[in-house]
Chain A
Amino acid sequence: MPNLHQSNKNTLAKLAIGESAIVTSVEGNSSISKRLMEMGIVPGVSVKLVKSAPLGCPLQISVRGYHLAIRRSEAENIGINK
């Protein structure tokens, strides 16, 4: 596992539209991280940023063969490895 406390680490929020990556960590307060993980965003899974809503938030991502909308602030809790 990479160091989780790097300040400049890559998160899902930094992906470009259409780009894919592997999830390395899911952080944030327990209610957020738990919900994200229950929806299938766990370390090791592949995610793709599909698009963002009109004002740049929320984001539409593709994971485990389905589409999910999450806010940018939540995407910042998802560490990735391109």
Chain B
Amino acid sequence: MKVSEGIESSENNPQKKIVIALAGNPNAGKTTLFNAVTGLRQKVANYPGVTVESKEGHLSFGEYKARLIDLPGLYSLEAASLDEQIARDVLTGKVENLTTPDVIISVLDATNLERNLYLFTQLLEYKIPIVVALTMVDVAESRGIKIDFEKLSALLNTPIVAVTASSGRGIEELQDQIQNILGTTPNIPTRLQEIETTSENSLIFARYNFISEVVQEAVNNQEIHEITTSEKIDRVLTHKFFGLIILVAILLLVFQTIFSWATVPMDLLEHGFGAIGDFARVQMPEGLLTDLIVDGIIAGVGGVLVFLPQILLLFFFISILEDTGYMARAAFLLDRMMSKVGLHGKAFLPLMSSFACAIPGIMAARTIENPKDRLATILIAPFMSCSARLPVYALMIATFFAGKTVFGFVSLSAVLMLGMYALGIVTAIIVAFILKKTLLKSPPPPFVMELPSYRLPNIRNVLQNMFTRAWMFVKRAGTVILAISIILWGLMTFPRVTNVYVNTPNASELSEEQKSFQQSEQLKNSYAGKIGHIIEPVIKPLGFDWKIGVALIASFAAREVLVSTLGIIYNGDKEANEESETLKTAILEAKNDDGTPTWTPLTALTLMVFFVLAIQCISTIAVVRRETNSWAWTLFMVGYMTGLAYIAALITYQGGKLLGFG
């Protein structure tokens, strides 16, 4: 993807630089217009200092080179939600590296003009020239809503352009109008100026009165009051009984697809990185640098990039569910149940996303207006078993529980896998309930949510969203995860252990077995090994020895690292993955100093329980810090999740031993 640069100060560029803000209600067609105008010249920009993430695109027309800022979808600018606060900051020029916009494009949905105009009346107050982009005019006309553009434009004192983003109709005229109004001050319609404000609510009332008058004069509404297609679809999808069944079926389908479809490209990626690693090892001279590149960088970054197909698929489904309008219906169906534990219906989307990865999930919590509700959702999101936990569950289950059944016919593997997911969900519900009764106590927040008309997903928007998110994930793999992989490799490699086979100084003459022994000696004496020994007393009550301790520490960077670390620890096979027979055998054969096996089925179960509840993901911690803008809450989250994981693992292990297992 081509990513445009930020502000460049090339003085030989004759084009004048301007900033344009794109504002509109959610579902008004803002994103489609943004994509049509900017094409691929866009990026997700993070502005320093504030927790702003907004999309930014570039376009050139006439003598202007414009930065187009896509504001979050808004109903109002009163700063109740984080999105509204962000929009106000952009419009008032409070965002670093961004001047006050020169023009606002106010996107209005013609099928829903009255409510869309409310935001417009607020935008007028910012004294920035405005041009209206009217979308979905054809849909409105087919419903019998006829708009007199000239009259509407006169009543609002604002140029109006009808646009059809999909065909590009109106885009040029929009650019012409922008050039016309640059530098002007908007004339607020007299009837709006005359409003005397006695209270906030009376101001809203007066604005809507103005809007009603305007619409009455400029719109000939002979809306055919037949039952719309949306209402017909709703009869099935939000049906009291079938609605919930369909919701469960859709979720099952999504997860089934994410887990089964993604395996093919994931296997390919895994083999690809393995092949790159082998190639590098063959081509490069044996030594520390090669080890760093192969074991540190390629294995570390590759191990994380393997999850890219799952992330792409998840965002594909989420974008489609959102674009069609179904996500709002899911929140509508589930609000009652979720409000019982103090959560908002809108928390459904963030929590669902977290099953793939907590990071997009936590970011999706922004739509929740009440800060305490939003925080509660963020704090429980990592309990949803994300895709990085899967390799760990898979390895443990395949090693210790494969082929066993319960009640004679149900596969124990499936029960355990489902049990791990259920444990995360139940814990999340309990924690949310407690948080909302104590630290995050607040009156029930308003649940006021639009149920937009159903429509076919815009494939371009879906793909764009998918690839923007995927790109962010790849960038993170290239930065944070790369750095951690290198650090981890360093901790396991230094200090160097002198060759234990003094009689065969030439390393290449060592047998495989000798090499393996050399490697495990190296690990035992490395910094990581020393840390493992230091924490051994703490994890001993969980049935873990120092080697598992090393793997645990490594997995705090990213959970799936546990698998490859165990591979290194148990002698040799560095290409270890959850399917690897040698790793399974090595785990089963690992012995303590007294000759008893290190691992029992109970140890494996304890480890899985720990992984369900612990927050072992640097990226999640970083994103929580950014989204909550608070180190205190971030540390609180790390603390309580780790504590909970430890206690639950302790109960599992000691309880299991009392019951005679292990």
Q: What residues of chain A lie closer than 8 Å to B451, measured between beta carbons?
A: 60, 67-69
A23 to chain B, nearest CB (A): 11
Q: What residues of chain A lie closer than 8 Å to B80, measured between beta carbons?
A: 31, 34-35
A39-B238 in contact given A32-B446, A69-B332 (Cβ < 8 Å): no
Q: Is B507 an interface residue (CB 8 A)?
A: no
Q: List 8 A-B contacts (CB under 8 A).
A: A34-B204, A35-B80, A36-B448, A53-B335, A53-B336, A57-B336, A60-B238, A64-B112
Q: Are B444 and A37 in contact (CB under 8 A)?
A: no
Q: How far is the CA of A26 from the CA of B451 in the complex (A)?
A: 21
Q: Are B76 and A42 in contact (CB under 8 A)?
A: no
Interface contact tally, CB-CB below 8 A: 118
B78 to chain A, nearest CB (A): 7
Q: Are B244 and A54 in contact (CB under 8 A)?
A: yes
A74-B204 in contact given A31-B80, A35-B80 (Cβ < 8 Å): no
Q: How far is the CA of A77 from the CA of B209 in the complex (A)?
A: 21
Main secondary structure on chain B at its contact with chain A? helix
Q: Which A-chain residue is minimally distant from B109 (CB atoms)? A: A66
Q: What residues of chain A lie closer than 8 Å to B453, measured between beta carbons?
A: 66-67
Q: Is B223 an interface residue (CB 8 A)?
A: yes
Question: Residues 447-458 of chain B: 1 if any A CB is under 8 Å from the residue's CB, otherwise 0?
Answer: 111111100000
B272 to chain A, nearest CB (A): 46
Name the one of B118, B200, B333, B445 contacting A34, with C-beta atoms under 8 angstroms. B200
Q: Are B112 and A66 in contact (CB under 8 A)?
A: yes
B228 to chain A, nearest CB (A): 10
A55-B336 in contact given A34-B204, A65-B111 (Cβ < 8 Å): yes
Q: Are B205 and A58 in contact (CB under 8 A)?
A: no
Q: How far is the CA of A33 from the CA of B328 in the complex (A)?
A: 21
Q: Is B337 an interface residue (CB 8 A)?
A: yes
Q: What residues of chain A lie closer than 8 Å to B444, measured between beta carbons?
A: 71, 73
Question: Interface residues, chain A, CB within 8 Å of chain B?
Answer: 26, 29-40, 42-45, 50-51, 53-58, 60, 64-71, 73-74
Question: Interface residues, chain B, CB within 8 Å of chain A?
Answer: 75-76, 78, 80, 111-112, 114-115, 118, 200-201, 204-205, 208-209, 212, 223, 230-231, 234, 238, 240-241, 243-244, 328, 331-333, 335-337, 339, 345, 443-453
A45 to chain B, nearest CB (A): 8
Q: Are A64 and B115 in contact (CB under 8 A)?
A: yes
Q: Are B336 and A38 in contact (CB under 8 A)?
A: no
Q: Are B447 and A54 in contact (CB under 8 A)?
A: no
Q: How far is the CA of A36 from the CA of B240 in the complex (A)?
A: 25
Q: How far is the CA of A36 from the CA of B75 in the complex (A)?
A: 11
Q: Are A71 and B335 in contact (CB under 8 A)?
A: yes
Main secondary structure on chain A at its contact with chain B? mixed
Q: Are B223 and A69 in contact (CB under 8 A)?
A: no
Q: Are B223 and A65 in contact (CB under 8 A)?
A: yes
Q: How far is the CA of A34 from the CA of B443 in the complex (A)?
A: 16
A38 to chain B, nearest CB (A): 4
Q: What residues of chain B lie closer than 8 Å to A71, measured between beta carbons?
A: 335, 339, 444, 446-447
Q: Are A58 and B332 in contact (CB under 8 A)?
A: yes
Q: Which A-chain residue is minimally distant from B145 (CB atoms)? A: A65
Q: How far is the CA of A30 from the CA of B118 in the complex (A)?
A: 18
Q: Are B118 and A38 in contact (CB under 8 A)?
A: yes
Q: How far is the CA of A45 from the CA of B114 in the complex (A)?
A: 11
Q: Are B114 and A65 in contact (CB under 8 A)?
A: yes
Q: What residues of chain B lie closer than 8 Å to A44, measured between beta carbons?
A: 212
A58-B244 in contact given A34-B201, A34-B204, A69-B332 (Cβ < 8 Å): no
Q: Are A31 and B332 in contact (CB under 8 A)?
A: no
Name the one of A30, A40, A66 contacting B208, with C-beta atoms under 8 angstroms. A40
Q: Are A54 and B241 in contact (CB under 8 A)?
A: yes
Q: Which A-chain residue is minimally distant from B231 (CB atoms)? A: A50
Q: How far is the CA of A53 from the CA of B333 in the complex (A)?
A: 6
Q: How far is the CA of A67 from the CA of B454 in the complex (A)?
A: 11
Q: What residues of chain A lie closer than 8 Å to B243, measured between beta carbons?
A: 54
Name the one of A36, A50, A57, A65 contacting B112, with C-beta atoms under 8 angstroms. A65
Q: Which A-chain residue is minimally distant from B228 (CB atoms)? A: A67
Q: What residues of chain A lie closer than 8 Å to B230, measured between beta carbons?
A: 67
Q: What residues of chain B lie closer than 8 Å to A70, measured between beta carbons?
A: 446-449
Q: How far is the CA of A35 from the CA of B115 in the complex (A)?
A: 12
Q: How far is the CA of A29 from the CA of B78 in the complex (A)?
A: 16
Give me the 8 closest cross-chain CB pairs, A-B, nearest first. A67-B451, A55-B336, A37-B204, A64-B114, A38-B76, A32-B446, A71-B447, A40-B115
Q: How far is the CA of A66 from the CA of B230 in the complex (A)?
A: 11
